[in-house]
Amino acid sequence: GQQVMQIPQYQHVQEGEDFTTYCNSSTTLSNIQWYKQRPGGHPVFLIQLVKSGEVKKQKRLTFQFGEAKKNSSLHITATQTTDVGTYFCARWDGGSSNTGKLIFGQGTTLQVKP
């Protein structure tokens, strides 16, 4: 299966600035998931997007699924030091929905300068 590509690999921002990470696929995705991993921690599930053009918000985090279901983005408004970590997108492989086989992108590591 095709891996999802994430950009950028690293991002350094000043506290209060916005941040966006992008997840791109050459094939249509049935859904996309986003995870956050704090330094030294384990990945934590944030959200799943299923519908074309879907937009979901969690406080300062906005998640979008592209109209063609080939890309997704995570946008953080007014970053805080608590946002530091690596953000991963992930897709189910080999089927139209939850197949058990979850493939991750390489992640975007966010550093926030206070």
Partner 1 sequence: NAGVTQTPKFQVLKTGQSMTLQCAQDMNHEYMSWYRQDPGMGLRLIHYSVGAGITDQGEVPNGYNVSRSTTEDFPLRLLSAAPSQTSVYFCASTRVGPGGYTFGSGTRLTVV
Q: For residue 5, which amino acid is it?
A: M
Q: Does 39 bind partner 1 (CB under 8 A)?
A: no
Q: For residue 61, which amino acid is it?
A: L
Contact residue for partner 1 among 33, 64, 71, 73 (CB under 8 A)? 33
Q: Give me the least distance between CB of 33 and partner 1, in Å please.
A: 5
Q: Does 65 bind partner 1 (CB under 8 A)?
A: no
Task: Count CB-CB contacts under 10 A for residue 7.
Answer: 13
Of 11-19, 41-49, 51-59, 66-74, the window that binds partner 1 (rule: CB under 8 A) is: 41-49
What is the distance between the alpha carbons of residues 30 and 93, in angstroms, rounded to a whole number? 9
Strand 108-113 and strand 10-14: pairing? parallel
Q: Give me the least distance between CB of 44 and partner 1, in Å please.
A: 7
The nearer residue to partner 1, 101 or 113, going by C-beta atoms, is: 101
Smallest Cα–Cα separation from 3: which of 65, 88, 62? 88
Q: Does 35 bind partner 1 (CB under 8 A)?
A: yes
